[in-house]
Amino acid sequence: MTIKEVCEQYHISPDTLRYYERVGIIPAVHRTKNNIRDYTEQDIGFVENALCMRNAGVPVEMVAQYMRLCQQGDETFLARRDLLREVREGIVKQIEKYQRELERLEYKIRRYDDALVTGKLVWDENETI
Protein backbone atom coordinates (compact mmCIF):
# COMPACT_ATOMS: atom_id res chain seq x y z
CA MET A 1 0.00 0.00 0.00
CA THR A 2 1.14 3.53 -0.64
CA ILE A 3 1.22 6.17 2.06
CA LYS A 4 -1.81 7.79 0.44
CA GLU A 5 -3.81 4.55 0.63
CA VAL A 6 -2.87 3.99 4.27
CA CYS A 7 -3.82 7.57 5.13
CA GLU A 8 -7.19 7.25 3.40
CA GLN A 9 -7.93 3.93 5.08
CA TYR A 10 -7.08 5.15 8.59
CA HIS A 11 -8.05 8.82 8.24
CA ILE A 12 -4.63 10.17 9.18
CA SER A 13 -2.26 12.53 7.45
CA PRO A 14 0.94 11.54 5.65
CA ASP A 15 2.80 13.80 8.09
CA THR A 16 1.48 11.72 10.98
CA LEU A 17 2.67 8.49 9.40
CA ARG A 18 6.07 9.93 8.62
CA TYR A 19 6.32 11.24 12.18
CA TYR A 20 5.41 7.83 13.63
CA GLU A 21 8.19 6.28 11.56
CA ARG A 22 10.70 8.99 12.47
CA VAL A 23 10.15 8.68 16.25
CA GLY A 24 10.00 4.89 16.26
CA ILE A 25 6.30 4.34 16.84
CA ILE A 26 6.33 2.22 13.70
CA PRO A 27 9.44 0.60 12.26
CA ALA A 28 11.00 1.90 9.06
CA VAL A 29 8.73 1.08 6.13
CA HIS A 30 10.12 -0.71 3.09
CA ARG A 31 10.64 1.54 0.09
CA THR A 32 10.41 0.88 -3.62
CA LYS A 33 13.26 1.49 -6.06
CA ASN A 34 11.87 5.01 -6.45
CA ASN A 35 12.14 5.54 -2.66
CA ILE A 36 8.35 5.47 -2.19
CA ARG A 37 7.03 3.90 1.02
CA ASP A 38 5.40 0.52 0.35
CA TYR A 39 3.38 -0.60 3.38
CA THR A 40 3.15 -4.36 3.87
CA GLU A 41 0.53 -6.18 5.94
CA GLN A 42 3.02 -6.25 8.80
CA ASP A 43 3.54 -2.48 8.49
CA ILE A 44 -0.23 -2.00 8.55
CA GLY A 45 -0.36 -4.02 11.77
CA PHE A 46 2.19 -1.66 13.31
CA VAL A 47 0.15 1.35 12.13
CA GLU A 48 -3.04 -0.11 13.61
CA ASN A 49 -1.28 -0.77 16.92
CA ALA A 50 0.12 2.76 16.99
CA LEU A 51 -3.28 4.28 16.26
CA CYS A 52 -4.96 2.14 18.91
CA MET A 53 -2.47 3.20 21.55
CA ARG A 54 -2.47 6.86 20.55
CA ASN A 55 -6.30 6.93 20.44
CA ALA A 56 -6.23 5.54 23.97
CA GLY A 57 -4.11 8.52 25.01
CA VAL A 58 -0.82 6.66 25.34
CA PRO A 59 2.06 9.15 25.09
CA VAL A 60 4.26 8.94 22.00
CA GLU A 61 7.31 8.05 24.07
CA MET A 62 5.54 5.09 25.64
CA VAL A 63 4.30 3.80 22.27
CA ALA A 64 7.86 4.05 20.92
CA GLN A 65 9.16 2.21 23.98
CA TYR A 66 6.63 -0.57 23.40
CA MET A 67 7.71 -0.83 19.76
CA ARG A 68 11.38 -1.05 20.75
CA LEU A 69 10.52 -3.88 23.13
CA CYS A 70 8.61 -5.69 20.39
CA GLN A 71 11.59 -5.46 18.07
CA GLN A 72 13.90 -6.89 20.75
CA GLY A 73 12.07 -10.21 20.65
CA ASP A 74 10.27 -12.67 22.88
CA GLU A 75 12.50 -12.07 25.89
CA THR A 76 10.66 -8.75 26.39
CA PHE A 77 7.23 -10.29 27.00
CA LEU A 78 7.29 -9.34 30.69
CA ALA A 79 8.33 -5.75 30.01
CA ARG A 80 5.69 -5.39 27.29
CA ARG A 81 2.99 -6.81 29.53
CA ASP A 82 3.99 -4.45 32.34
CA LEU A 83 3.94 -1.47 29.99
CA LEU A 84 0.46 -2.43 28.76
CA ARG A 85 -0.72 -2.81 32.35
CA GLU A 86 0.52 0.70 33.05
CA VAL A 87 -1.37 1.95 30.00
CA ARG A 88 -4.52 0.12 31.12
CA GLU A 89 -4.26 1.67 34.59
CA GLY A 90 -4.12 5.15 33.06
CA ILE A 91 -7.14 4.43 30.88
CA VAL A 92 -9.14 3.11 33.85
CA LYS A 93 -8.36 6.31 35.77
CA GLN A 94 -9.51 8.39 32.80
CA ILE A 95 -12.74 6.39 32.54
CA GLU A 96 -13.39 6.92 36.25
CA LYS A 97 -12.79 10.64 35.86
CA TYR A 98 -15.14 10.83 32.88
CA GLN A 99 -17.76 8.82 34.80
CA ARG A 100 -17.68 11.34 37.66
CA GLU A 101 -18.00 14.24 35.23
CA LEU A 102 -20.85 12.49 33.41
CA GLU A 103 -22.68 12.04 36.71
CA ARG A 104 -22.28 15.76 37.45
CA LEU A 105 -23.65 16.66 34.02
CA GLU A 106 -26.59 14.30 34.41
CA TYR A 107 -27.39 15.86 37.78
CA LYS A 108 -27.41 19.34 36.24
CA ILE A 109 -29.59 18.19 33.35
CA ARG A 110 -32.10 16.71 35.83
CA ARG A 111 -32.17 19.99 37.74
CA TYR A 112 -32.88 21.93 34.53
CA ASP A 113 -35.53 19.40 33.48
CA ASP A 114 -37.24 19.92 36.83
CA ALA A 115 -36.89 23.70 36.48
CA LEU A 116 -38.63 23.58 33.11
CA VAL A 117 -41.60 21.89 34.79
CA THR A 118 -41.70 23.89 38.03
CA GLY A 119 -40.33 27.20 36.80
CA LYS A 120 -37.73 27.15 39.57
CA LEU A 121 -34.11 26.01 39.49
CA VAL A 122 -33.15 24.25 42.72
CA TRP A 123 -29.76 22.76 43.58
CA ASP A 124 -29.30 20.14 46.28
CA GLU A 125 -27.24 21.51 49.16
CA ASN A 126 -24.83 18.58 49.21
CA GLU A 127 -24.18 18.61 45.45
CA THR A 128 -21.50 20.69 43.77
CA ILE A 129 -22.60 22.66 40.78
Domain ranges of the chain: 3-72, 89-129
Contact predicate 57/94, CB 8 Å: yes
pLDDT per residue as tens digits for the range 54-65: 998 899 999 999
Express as a percent the part of the chain with pLDDT over 70: 98
Does pLDDT of 75 surpass 90?
yes
**Mean pLDDT estimate for the chain:** 94
Topology of domain 3-72, CATH: Multidrug-efflux Transporter Regulator; Chain: A; Domain 2 (1.10.1660)
3-class secondary-structure state, position 125: coil
How far apart, in whole angstroms, are the C-alpha atoms of residue 63 and residue 83?
Answer: 9
Confidence (pLDDT) at 127? 67
Confidence (pLDDT) at 125? 79
First vs last C-alpha separation in the chain:
52
- 67 CB-contact burial (10 Å; exposed 0-12 / middle 13-18 / buried 19+): buried
Confidence (pLDDT) at 53? 93
pLDDT per residue as tens digits for the range 84-128: 999 999 999 999 999 999 999 999 999 999 999 999 999 987 766
